[in-house]
Structures are given as structure tokens and as C-alpha cells.
Amino acid sequence: MALTNEKPVLPSVINTSSEHDQTHIHKQSWASKNRRSLWASLALFLLLRYLVLPNVLPNSTESENHALSAHHGSSCAQADAIYPQSFDASSVVEGEKDQIIDWLSGAVKVPTEIFDVMGEIGEDKRWDVFYEFSEYLEKAYPLIHEHLTRTRVMTHALVFEWQGSDPSLKPLLLTGHQDVVPVLPATRDQWSHAPYGGEYDGKYIWGRGSMDDKSGVIGFLSAIELLLKSGEFEPTRTVILALGIDEETGGKVGALNLGIWIEEKYGKDSIAMLVDEGNAVAEVWGQLFATPAVGEKGYMDLELRVETLGGHSSVPPPHTGIGYISLLVAALEQHPHEPYLNPESPLVNFMSCGADNGPTFPKDLVKAVRKVERSLQAKSHKVDKKALKELEDWWVTGGEEDGTFPIKGLGKAMVSTTQAVDIINGGLKVNALPEDVVAVVNHRISIASSVAELQHHLVNVIAPVASKLNLAVEAFGKEVNYADCHSEFQAGPKAGKVILSVAYNSSLDPAPVSPFTASDPAWKLLSGTVKSVYATRPGFNATEEEAKKEIFMAPSISTGNTDTKRYWNLTKNIYRFAYLIADKGDIEGAHTINEHVSADGIVELVRWFANLIVNVDESREL
């Protein structure tokens, strides 16, 4: 499946090192202007943050909801805890807290900033900082570099392979990105700790990338280094590590070519399971939930262009090109995409988990959830539309009313295709009519929709308005026949032309949804490892109340895109998740000032990765 319209040149291989350090350098073919803005990245993080960390007001009593959660037809069946059988994987982190802190601190000190516009590797010196980061990894993780094979892809993207003894078993793929968003110079004096100081204050590790995403990269590297140090584990299933270099600008250099390299070597559908950065663990509806993103929304930037004749502004037409595009933009904003909650959406299952296990889950919604579940389980498969609409309405407005979504529009964004007019350019001189005016509209496509459906909607909105304005229309490479637009047709010369096209080569359909039921082997392993690590957490039996606490798995989605969009061909089992029991203070600095992460949280993340690696290695279901 083609991920975008990009056509990268396939790799040519230059082998200039030992078998443990092969170098693959790809010719670069990518549009430098195809970049997400820093502020768009910040908005994405905030969306993810408030999906994972809702603050739900109680609407029912605990006893009432527990009684309702006894429903046997729930779609939120939970997997049992899974513990490694060969040895105690958690033991590898015992006494290693200081070392783990040092590893992350050192990684943060290397400012691997990536910018919206980057030149080619080898020409743009800003890429060279990744040499420093790979050198740091060599010094920090000597056992990894001794026992794993390292391959350079596009010079700076890295693949590590820990060869298993049984080649018939599909490998486990763990991914993350080395790059971080830049620190704005104007904000440096607002940081309580140096942005690239990697300081540890006894509780938190501070600095850009400490959360996003050097925590993930250092998490799995540390787990493997400690497994190697223990000498008690040798994999039967190969483990692959893929470290991107430009996730914060779309992964067009790093992850794109990493995906190509892995597919060329291992083949399509060759990976047992993939784990990348994503949602964390948090309290929702009065209960602790792990909420891996099992899908991501799609993406498309629309370029809306109006071409008209120029001339002197002293004799203007009724509308200049700016006037025309303003009317067209207004039409888009007057016709937003309608929310739609697909009954098969992970968000419905997410609400089933809340109804089952959330003491403060709204009582009226529990009834709607049960009706949807019963209708889905019925042989007729006819969904209770009224009940489903109640769930949809909660995402659109209910979550804001009860305090779940502090950011206005967040819930609606989860069940809709969103559009945001972010750029508009036109005109050079105050006394000259603009001949070419362009607006760029960002779309995040609902998981129930597609690029094709979005483009159809855009034509249906724009073409009738353009027709009334006597403008010709070209949409996505084809002339639009006004007879199909159900609007007034004006014969004769046109006042100008409207051109709709995909900006920045950016179209991407929503990600395939990964399996998320207790019977699915990959989800069962992910869930079982979460449950076993939580059950053996430090101090878990300190009090009777603490011992009774549980953690539940609930699938969710991501409103934005991670590097996983480059790996769809490799496996259907893609999970965007980090075992971080986060609170508001832990993640509120990502992509902004005072980014930090809990040191205890990072130790637990390393422990989780170690257990996951061994659990997946021992499984024969994948």
C-alpha cells in the first residue's frame, strides 16, 4: 500500500565497516517544504494529552456502575496478566535506577533538533548533530553495539537487529525517534532548567526530548542493555529497533526509508508486533486505564488556489482574487464535516471499558453502551442507531459539558474530519490586482472516512460557489463539470479559475485499525504485560487498598500521526503506547517549556520493555 505520493529512491549500499556497523545510504528524494509546523505539533500533543488524561465528573455512584459492569456481553473483555517463564525479567532493573537516569540525561544533552525546512543530509549541517547522538549511544550502550548489528539508513536513521535463534518466528519491532522539536530562543529564559541540561532534581529529568521521544528510545535501549548484562536471556525471536530522525516533521527521511529497508530485508507482513510512542496510562472515570492508540486519523493538506487576471487597482472587478478565495474559504467553514461514530470504532470499545470499569462513568451512557453492544452481538447486526447517536453526542458535546475535554472541540475532533485554514497568501503591491492567491487548509481525516471521501466533499462545497462566481474549477487534476454541481451555470468567458490540489504531497488515508480484543494474540501480549508489570510495581502491597488497585486496557486512537504511518506494510499489530503512569505534571511540557519526565516512571518503562521483549519471545501465538 502506498503511504503517500512520495517516490523515494531505493537504497544503494555502501559497506564501509564491520558486520556490526553496516552503512546504507539512500539517495534523497523528498519535498523540503512538506513540513508540519511547530505549533501544529504542539496542538497535536495537547489533543493526545487530553484524550489520555480526562477529568471526568462523577455522574453515578460506584456501586451502581459496578452492578452495570457485570454485563457479560461487553466488548471490553480483559486479558490475564502474563509473566515471563524463563526468568524474572523485572530483576534486570533492580539497582539500576541511577544508571537509567544517567542514560536518559545524557541523551537529552544532545540537541537533536529537527526543523520544518531541512536541506539534504551532507549539505545541511543541522543534520550533523545526529552523528553526536549515535556516538553517545555507542558509549552508553556498549553491549548493544557488541551483540546487535547496527545499520545506518539515510546516514542517521538507525536499525539494530538482535538476532534470534529461530528464524521461523516473526521479529518484534520497537520504534522511536531521535529528533526533538526545537527550543524557541525567545523562551529559553522561561525554562526552570536548561533545555538541554538533562538535569535530575531527585524526582524529574528535565529537558527537551525527556518525554517526546527520547524516553521511548532510551526505554527500549536500556531494557536490552540490561537484558544483555544479566546474561540470562538470549532471544529465540529476532528483535529489531528502528530509530527515526524526523518524526516531528513527518518521518519523510528517517521512518520512510527505515520502513523500506526493513520490508526489503524481511518482507511484507513480516513483523509479529510493533510498538511505537503514543498514549500512556492515566486515571479515567475514576479508574486507571492503559489506552494504546490502535489507529490514527488520516491527513491531507488542501491547496486552494484562485487564478485571475491582473490589472490596476484603480479599476477593480467586483471581486479580486483575494475576495474570491475569501468567499470560498467562508463556504468551507460554513460546511464542516459531520461527526460520525462508526459502531466498529475503537472509541466505542473505549466507552465499553469505561462502562465496565469506571466508577464515575455516566450512568445514562452505560445504558446506551449496553444497547450498542447488544445490537452489535445480534445476528442481524443492526446497530441501535439511537443509542449510538447518544455515544456520538457525548464525544461531540457531552465530554465538554462534564469536564472530560478541557480543550473545546477535542471530543468532536475524535469523531470527525477536521479542517483548519492555516495559510493564505496573495498580492504583492497595493495598487496591483493579485493574479494568484493561495490558501492551505489542513485536514485530519476521521478513521471512518478516507482521502477520496474528503476530496469529494471539498468539490461538493467549492464547485457550486465557484460556479455562482463564474469561476472555472479544476479539482485534483480533473475539470469539474458545472452540470454536476446543481448550481447556476454562466456561459461565456470565466472570471478566473479555482484549482484544488493536494499540498505538499501530503495525502494519507487513516491507519488500519490494529486488533484490540482479548483473543487477539498481539493485544493479549501487550495487555498481559501491562497487567503483570503493574501487579509487581514497587510498593504494590504496601497497603491493602494499594493491593486491590487494578489497571484496565482500553483501545483508543491518535488524532495525529506518528512514524508508524511508514510501517503499515510490515504488520497489522501496531500499537502506539508507552507504559508511563503519567499525571498532568509529567507531560505538560512536551513541545513547550519545561519538558520533563518522572525518573521512577522511566525506570518502570524500562521494566515494562524488558518484560514485553521476553513475553513476546516466549509466545508462539504470533
Neighbours of 420 (CB within 10 A): 14
Q: Is residue 86 part of a domain?
A: no
**In a shared domain, residues 578 and 500:** no
- For the chain, how many structural domains are there in total? 2
Residue 181, C-alpha cell as written in the block: 522539536
Grid cell 499525571 in the structure block, residue: 583
**In a shared domain, residues 456 and 583:** no
Show which of 470, 505, 540 is a domain's final residue.
505
Show which of 450, 481, 505 is a domain's final residue.
505
Q: Is 276 annotated as a binding residue?
A: yes
In angstroms, rounded to a whole number, what is the distance separating the alpha carbons of residues 172 and 622?
10
Q: Is residue 63 part of a domain?
A: no
* CATH classification at residue 129: 3.40.630.10
pLDDT at 485: 54
Domain range for residue 584? Answer: 14-57+113-284+521-618
Residue 425, C-alpha cell as written in the block: 497568501
In angstroms, rounded to a whole number, what is the distance separating the alpha carbons of residues 507 and 6?
10
* Single pTM value for the model: 0.85
Residue 22, C-alpha cell as written in the block: 553496516
Q: Is residue 84 part of a domain?
A: no
Q: Is 588 annotated as a binding residue?
A: no
Find, among 288, 297, 308, the residue nearest to 582 by Cα. Answer: 288
**In a shared domain, residues 238 and 187:** yes
Find, among 364, 400, 346, the residue nearest to 515 by Cα. Answer: 346
Find, among 140, 142, 143, the residue nearest to 234 by Cα. Answer: 143
* CATH classification at residue 472: 3.30.70.360
Contact 71, 373 (CB under 8 A): yes
Q: Is 474 annotated as a binding residue?
A: no
Handedness of CA 383, 384, 386, 389 (dihedral sign): negative
Residue 81, C-alpha cell as written in the block: 496478566
**In a shared domain, residues 44 and 132:** yes
**In a shared domain, residues 279 and 305:** no
Q: Is residue 260 part of a domain?
A: yes
In angstroms, rounded to a whole number, what is the distance separating the alpha carbons of residues 466 and 480?
11
**In a shared domain, residues 428 and 496:** yes
pLDDT at 583: 61
Show which of 505, 530, 553 is a domain's final residue.
505
Q: Is residue 290 part of a domain?
A: no
pLDDT at 74: 72
List the catalytic residues: 179, 247
**In a shared domain, residues 306 and 451:** yes
In angstroms, rounded to a whole number, what is the distance separating the alpha carbons of residues 12 and 241?
21
Give pLDDT < 70 ranges for the chain.
1-73, 379-381, 406, 483-492, 582-589
Contact 90, 540 (CB under 8 A): no
**In a shared domain, residues 608 and 461:** no
Q: Is residue 581 part of a domain?
A: yes
Q: What is the pLDDT of residues 481-535, one digit of tens each?
A: 876 555 555 666 799 999 999 999 889 999 999 999 999 999 999 999 999 999 9
**In a shared domain, residues 561 and 598:** yes
CA distances from 180 to 107, 116, 135, 234 (A): 11, 12, 17, 33
Locate the DSSP E strands across 285-417.
287-290, 293-296, 298-308
Q: Is 177 annotated as a binding residue?
A: yes
Contact 301, 443 (CB under 8 A): yes
In angstroms, rounded to a whole number, what is the distance separating the alpha carbons of residues 142 and 148?
10
Q: Is 73 exposed, middle or buried (0-12, 13-18, 19+ CB in 10 A)?
A: exposed
**In a shared domain, residues 137 and 273:** yes
Runs of H (alpha helix) within 53-117:
62-68, 97-108
**In a shared domain, residues 459 and 605:** no
Q: What is the pLDDT of residues 86-109, one digit of tens each?
A: 999 999 999 999 999 999 999 999
pLDDT at 2: 32
pLDDT at 489: 58
Q: Is residue 358 part of a domain?
A: no
Q: Is residue 349 part of a domain?
A: no
Q: What angle separates helix 521-535 from helix 599-618, to the nearest 10 degrees?
A: 130
pLDDT at 190: 96
What does pLDDT average to over the chain?
A: 87
* Amino acid making up residue 103: W
**In a shared domain, residues 136 and 238:** yes
Grid cell 535501549 in the structure block, residue: 221
